Amino acid sequence: MVSVVNHIDTQHQDMLHDAQLDYYGKRLATCSSDRSIRVFDVDQNGQYFLSSTLINHEGPVWQVAWSHPMFGNLLASCSYDCKVIIWAENNKKWSNLYTYTGHDSSVNSVCWAPIEYGIILASGSSDGSIAIISNTDGNWSAKKISNAHTIGCNAVSWAPSVDAGSLFDNAEGDPKPNVKRLVTGGCDYKVNIWKEIDGEWKLDQSLDGHSDWVRDVAWAPNIGVSVSTIASCGEDGRVIIWTKEEDNSEREWTSKILLQLDKPIWHVSWSVTGNILAVSSSDNKVSLWKEGLNGDWVCIDDVKKTEVTEETEKQE
């Protein structure tokens, strides 16, 4: 049974768009249409308190993403102002480390690459492009995939850094790094998979299954099994699970509709082990789904806004 363990007053002055915990779950970053980002720390009693407010965007901030702690305290944000900002914390003070201004329209999504690839960030924009932003020896650079989605890109997600099934296929027991891959979702109703070949990003496959804007995509973590899994959701109220057997390069991606609602679905997110999927929809509901042994997906729990409100009132 899912229960509400805490309620956080973010103190934002406008609509809240994203909230992300860091790698250890000890810090929370939120962003809003009030153009600010707020960072909260958690105390020994599990209570969150505001530690920093980051202001440098000139429009609503749509999404934030924490880097792996191996690279320090880095936080990426993207905004309607066409910018991607990478923030760095030193001595408990945040500063603007780098600003990417190569997009021509609202930047809707940011996602850090697996740590094995180094400091690399992907961003997707309403101008239809994807940017791959990287830092090598302290120098920032970017590659741009133009016309990745004809009307606009809404979401980006990286594939795991290790080939699906490689833990079993490699006799030495040391998984081999995979080629860099991305999945993106766009306003053209498509889910696109990208692969880096000889330093250049190429479209690997375009998946059709949605009948309206794709709002979010999420590539599932891989624990060594030979199947790659992607979840996508959209304005059509549909959640689709895409799978591919990676032990045969000739296999195609197959799809299964996990959920069909009469209202938009905004986000999908995998658990760290990749076996539970969280789905949030425009009816103020978050549901958790798990695949059964027979291959059918089952809702194992859900939380509605009314339940959150009731629990909050009890705490107060």
User: Tens digits of per-residue pLDDT, 126-174?
Assistant: 999 999 999 999 999 999 999 999 999 999 999 998 765 555 455 455 5
Dihedral sign (CA 200, 247, 225, 228): positive
Query: Would the pLDDT of 27 be above 90?
Result: yes
When pLDDT is cut at 50, 70 and 90, the band that residue 312 belongs to is very low
Token pair, residue 240, equals: 């689709």
Report whether 279 contacts 268 (CB < 8 A): yes
Question: Structural domains in the chain?
Answer: 8-147 (2.130.10.10), 156-316 (2.130.10.10)
User: What pLDDT score does 45 carry?
Assistant: 80
Q: How far is CA 262 from CA 172, 233, 259, 283, 310, in A?
A: 50, 13, 10, 10, 26
Q: Is 150 helix (H, G, I), strand (E, B) or coil?
A: coil
Report whether 76 contacts 86 (CB < 8 A): yes
Distance CA 134, CA 225 (A): 29
Query: Percent helix, strand, coil in the chain (nearest 5)?
Result: 5, 55, 40
Q: How far is CA 296 from CA 74, 159, 290, 293, in A?
A: 39, 23, 8, 7
User: What pLDDT score does 316 carry?
Assistant: 45
Contacts 24+ apart (CB under 8 A), 71-74: 71/115, 71/119, 73/22, 74/119
Q: Read off φ and ψ for residue 311, nearest 5 degrees.
A: -70, -35
Lowest mean pLDDT among 15-24, 41-50, 81-90, 99-108: 41-50
Whether the full predicted model's pTM is greater than 0.85, yes or no, is: yes
Query: Would the pLDDT of 252 be above 60?
Result: yes
Based on the number of CB atoms within 10 Å of its own CB, is 272 exposed (0-12), middle (13-18) or buried (19 or more)? exposed
Residues paired with 39 in a beta bridge: 29, 52
